[in-house]
Amino acid sequence: MSDTCTHLDTILTKEASGPGCVECMETGGHWVHLRRCTECAHIGCCDSSPSRHATAHFHSSGHPIIQSYEPEEDWLWCNVDDLDFELEDQMDSVSHPPGWSPGPPSSG
């Protein structure tokens, strides 16, 4: 395990692909918390969720860093270096709309 993330150059965006987990929304799945890929903006569900799409995205894409997509959480996680951290220029990051975690929101 590293003391410093060696993949900071892969942080390319603060955007998000949408309000919820891309794959869960396509398949009718559900999630506990959401994570955002800092390289391509993919939104996936956390490892406490049944399908763990954020980790699956890392394994399929090789994009190493995710950031919490939860309100008032700005931490990042490097899957390669097995390291959590925060960066001043990544504070006040985007998060999902209210009511989207756990999700998806009920349509009733």
Q: Which domains does the chain have, with CATH numbers?
A: 10-87 (3.30.40.10)
Per-residue pLDDT of the chain (108 residues; tens, 9 = 90+): 568 899 999 999 989 999 999 999 999 999 999 999 999 999 999 999 999 999 999 999 999 999 999 999 999 999 999 999 999 988 888 899 988 889 888 765
CA 25 to CA 12: how far, in whole Å?
Answer: 24
CA 104 to CA 5: how far, in whole Å?
Answer: 32
In a 13 Å sphere around the CA of 104, the CA atoms on its Cβ side amount to 17
State pTM to two decimals. 0.92
CA 13 to CA 103: how far, in whole Å?
Answer: 24
In a 13 Å sphere around the CA of 56, the CA atoms on its Cβ side amount to 15
